[in-house]
Copies of this chain bind each other. A is one copy, B any other.
Amino acid sequence: MILFNSDYTEGAHERILRRLAETNLEQTPGYGCDNYCLQAAQVIQKLCQREVQVHFLVGGTQTNTTVIASLLHPYQGVLAPDTGHIAVHETGAVEGTGHKVLTLPGREGKISAQQIEEAVRAHREDASAEHMVQPKMVYISQPTEFGTLYTRAELSAIYQVCRAYSLYLFVDGARLAYGMEAPDNDITLPELASMCDVFYIGGTKAGALFGEAVVFTKPGLGEEFRYMIKHQGGMLAKGRLLGLQFLELLKDGLYWELGQNGDKMADRLREAFREAGYPLLVENRTNQIFPIIPDEHLARLSESFGFEYQKRIDDSHSAVRFCTGWATTEAQVQALVDAIREINK
């Protein structure tokens, strides 16, 4: 059985395990106040080419919730695509901190500057504005839940609207490695850092055992964020595990290589799906592929491969998700390609 269910089915890149073993009995202060975290933050700052505040957290939902709750007043909410992770797959963690997720209809997982502007203006112009949640932040993912990417022009337009209307822009980068390395990506890391207020570099889905590096890119934000992490129960005792992993991932560009691997393997699968005549629900070049496949083919594939059901398309077809990742091997992909060919022979 080969699992293409997600990009977190395996452990960590071997270099990370090696570093964990090498440093295992070193004694360090707890809670992220160690040198590894310090150094990793400096590396990230250098990569961003601007002064930033870096904090390390364990997982994505925790990160989204902690960032959002740290910046909003109780009566403020966060605009997000209706398919956004915070809107759908976090069991109401953001609401748990008291904030409403204000959804906008996404297009292949993306929302536009215009939608945001209209939503904020509609709120401000409403005579009953005080009776409604005040939009104060925009949450988007790069890449999105559908593996699609915001272009530099799109992101820039969104950030312009955010600045014009005093909204924070928060970019969920759980799969940033795959986004950055996609052939059609036109945004560099420094550009990303300059076009939002806070984003994160996802480790969990790109070679780390766990870990997300939150980057506050604007002065004044994130200053008391450590209180907030603790308040949300997210402060890791052996914090150096986070710093150490990011330090290793960002050394010699390993992180980007891992992203590239996922994207390349996905491209191979996309080609096989096209060859088999399976249309794609969404076009993208990152590590998630959403083919529409005859149900009987799916039944056969599911004997040897894991994937995620998405939705029924018609009586005999369903959309599913295959996800490659930093650990996906050519052999795994070839096995799937062969199986697809065999079924379509």
Contacts and interface: CB of A to CB of B under 8 A. Distances in A.
A11 interface: yes
Given A11-B24, A132-B88, A237-B210, A230 B93 contact: yes
Contact of A77 (B24, B61, B92): B92
A160 interface: no
A105 B252 CA distance: 51
A6 interface: yes
A25 interface: yes
A241 interface: yes
A325 to B, nearest CB: 10
Interface centre among A28, A127, A233 (most CB of B within 10 A): A233
Given A74-B228, A75-B227, A97-B74, A233 B20 contact: no
B62 A233 contact: yes
Interface stretch (A64-72, A267-275, A286-294): A64-72
B97 A92 contact: no
Contacts of A69: 74
Assembly of this chain: how many copies?
4
A317 interface: no
B74 A73 contact: no
Interface in A85-124: 88-93, 95-101
A309 B127 contact: yes
Given A21-B21, A58-B236, A61-B235, A90 B8 contact: no
Given A241-B11, A309-B127, A99 B91 contact: no
Contact of A89 (B73, B96, B98, B128): B128
Contact of A92 (B59, B100, B237): B100
A60 interface: yes
Nearest to A128: B89
A235 B101 CA distance: 20
Contacts of A133: 91-92, 95
Give the 4 A-B CB pairs with smallest separation, nearest first. A62-B233, A11-B24, A75-B227, A91-B230
